[in-house]
Structure 1
Amino acid sequence: MPEAKTPWSLTLSEVGLRLEDLRERRDLTQGDVAGHEVLRRRGVKIDKSGLSRLERGQRRRVARDLIEALLEVYQASDSESSEILALLGADTTPAGRPRPALWRRNAHLLGPMQFEGFLKMERRAAALSNYERDIWPGLCQVEEYAYTVIAQMRPDLRPSEVKALVDVRMDRQQQVREGALAEFRALVDEHALHITGGDLSVARRQLERVLEESEDPRNTIRILPDAVGLHPGSAGPFVLMAFPEAARQVVWVETMVSSLYFDGEDDVQRYTAAFTNLWERALDPDETRTRLKKRIKELEQ
């Protein structure tokens, strides 16, 4: 599974995907397009390399006259042209837009993990499906629990750096709440119920937060019983994202040293199938809340 770089803009990535589909439907190579008579007549230039970057969503800017010329080359229908040009006009992440101050201050921490791309896309997602093994999702974490999780998973960080990442996580929760999110599905292994991080009071507050989040109509939280045993998710946590302006989903996978973004159809389908399979085997929302309440009472004793 090859690593894919985060696109400069999700909408430009979608534009590129649709243009590639139109080109292939006309049985044209990138070389055919680069030397096409329509581009010469319109005074528009693009080489094979530039067209490849455009189709992969890796160009910072795309001129409207170039897109219009390509649409003519591909003999796109009126509806196809209007949809693609609308996407071009809807781009809300132009190159050069200043990063949030919190991200700039912590670029030395976010950069190596390639996590800024995740943050940019997460806040624009309409639907998120998050599988976690041992911890509760970052969008559901209380501050003390987040500190414990980051500190124990990243022993190389100084306390001030851990606190900085906690601040990013808390801000991330606010940004997602105020963003486009309409549906959040969280699937967590039962094992997470019993990991306290060494502080029972923090563990209890965290479960109370999860219980509270489960009551939000946008959220559906399910616990995957230990009895399920080994399963595809055992390979590691992941997040599936769907967007209002894009026809496809993307998947993010976090490793110890980096976070990876994939948008290939086969990759996304594999993770979607894994999530769906586990989702159907998990406790339903009511059973999950019952299990949470039981564990909270145990931690109160």
Structure 2
Amino acid sequence: MPEPKTPWSLTLSEVGLRLEQLRERRGLTQGDVARHEVLRQRGIKIDTSGISRLERGQRRRVTRDLVTALLEVYRANKSESSEVLALLGADTTPAGRPRPALWRRNAHLLGPMQFEGFLLMERRAARLDNYEGELWPGLCQTEDYAYLVIARMRPELRHSEVKALVDVRMDRQQQVQAGALTDFRALVDERALRVVGDDPAVSRLQMERVLEDSEDPRNTIRILPETIGLHPGSAGSFVVMTFPEAARQVVWGETMVSSLYFDGAEDVQRYSATFTDLWERALDPNETRSRLKKRIKELEQ
């Protein structure tokens, strides 16, 4: 099954999910709703396709009149109606909001990876649980380290294209720092302590950056010892995102040619459980800092 399309607005996606649950509880099909007399009496026209797009979070505009009418159709109680309408009022993602100029200039690089959706959602997240294998998370990377990593992983790119993606990554760090984030948990395999690209200086400065980031009260960084061996996270890096305006989490993963978005309850639970299990088996924050300091000293020699 293909991964779902990234929703334009997480709050509107949440509204759609709540309405779908209420509709199914009443035992109504989307066709039943489109033909319902309440909508007709209120002069609201919507077909099954429109209801489907609403429930999947793919509409850029959802009017309060439509949602109020649907809540009546579904016989939602006062508490349920208040929660849905509060979510609708909290939406801050207006249709037509222009993309940042940096993204527009590099759309040809971000588009194939479907990475713009990730960037949009990341800066709205209150908590990020990020597992990485042998690389430090993008939110913790220095400019030199990011350049080295992207150049090695995307050998088909020209120097100017690699530099463009580095610029996006540096801007991304600033956007997240200024966003809703209150809790960033980074879990990294011990392999990240190795020298990347045969450049000890870049690797050492990168670890100094991670050590500095670990002092931020919003950040908790842990190293997963190699002695643990293969584990579910070995399949690839991922991020579990939690949002202040939504009742559910979403997961992002990345492959060589694309990024993947999941919001199904079963998928999210699997990734969350994997992260929690590995987090509890990792070195604690103090042990992680000690390991980083030891490795930095080794690279200074």
> Residues 218-257 of structure 1: matches in 2 within 5 Å?
218-257=218-257
Aligned to 2:205: 205
- Unaligned runs of at least 5 residues, structure 1: none
Letter in 2 for 1:222: R
SS at match of 2:287: helix
Letter in 2 for 1:77: N
Distance in structure 2 (CA, Å) of the matches to 1:280 and 1:152: 32
- Unaligned runs of at least 5 residues, structure 2: none
Preserved CA contact (<8 Å) 1:128 1:183: yes
Q: CA deviation at 1:82?
A: 2.0
Aligned to 1:260: 260
Aligned to 1:272: 272
Matched, 1:135 2:138: no
Aligned to 1:49: 49
> Residues 146-185 of structure 1: matches in 2 within 5 Å?
146-185=146-185
Aligned to 1:107: 107
Out of 25-34 and 65-74, give the one that drifted further. Answer: 25-34
Letter in 1 for 2:140: C
Letter in 2 for 1:197: G
Preserved CA contact (<8 Å) 1:134 1:195: no
Letter in 2 for 1:278: L
Q: Deviations over 1:214-260 (max 9, x none)?
A: 11111110000000000000100000000000000000011100101
Report percent identity of matched pairs: 81
Aligned to 1:15: 15
SS at match of 1:2: coil
Letter in 1 for 2:188: V
Out of 60-69 and 134-143, give the one that drifted further. Answer: 60-69
Distance in structure 2 (CA, Å) of the matches to 1:41 and 1:241: 41
Distance in structure 2 (CA, Å) of the matches to 1:89 and 1:156: 45
Q: CA deviation at 1:2?
A: 3.3
Letter in 2 for 1:128: L
Aligned to 2:69: 69
Distance in structure 2 (CA, Å) of the matches to 1:196 and 1:259: 23
Letter in 1 for 2:112: P
Deviant stretches of 4+, over 4 Å: none
> Residues 20-99 of structure 1: matches in 2 within 5 Å?
20-99=20-99
Distance in structure 1 (CA, Å) of the matches to 2:296 and 2:52: 54
> TM-score scaled to structure 1, two decimals?
0.98
Letter in 1 for 2:18: R
Distance in structure 2 (CA, Å) of the matches to 1:6 and 1:127: 18
Distance in structure 2 (CA, Å) of the matches to 1:252 and 1:195: 27
Q: Deviations over 1:12-65 (max 9, x none)?
A: 000001101111111211111111111111111111111111111011211221
Distance in structure 2 (CA, Å) of the matches to 1:195 and 1:266: 37
Distance in structure 2 (CA, Å) of the matches to 1:186 and 1:261: 19
Over the aligned positions, Cα root-mean-square deviation in angstroms equals 0.9
The number of aligned residues is 301
Q: CA deviation at 1:268?
A: 0.3
Letter in 2 for 1:67: V
> TM-score scaled to structure 2, two decimals?
0.98
Distance in structure 2 (CA, Å) of the matches to 1:55 and 1:34: 13
Matched, 1:3 2:39: no
Letter in 2 for 1:257: V
Q: CA deviation at 1:134?
A: 1.0
Distance in structure 1 (CA, Å) of the matches to 2:195 and 2:75: 59
Q: CA deviation at 1:265?
A: 0.3
Aligned to 2:214: 214
SS at match of 2:170: helix
Q: Deviations over 1:177-236 (max 9, x none)?
A: 010000000000001101332211111000000001111111110000000000000100
Distance in structure 2 (CA, Å) of the matches to 1:280 and 1:26: 42
Q: CA deviation at 1:127?
A: 0.2
Q: CA deviation at 1:75?
A: 1.2
Q: CA deviation at 1:131?
A: 0.4
Letter in 2 for 1:248: R
Q: Deviations over 1:133-179 (max 9, x none)?
A: 01000000010000000000000100000000000000000010010
Distance in structure 1 (CA, Å) of the matches to 2:101 and 2:86: 30
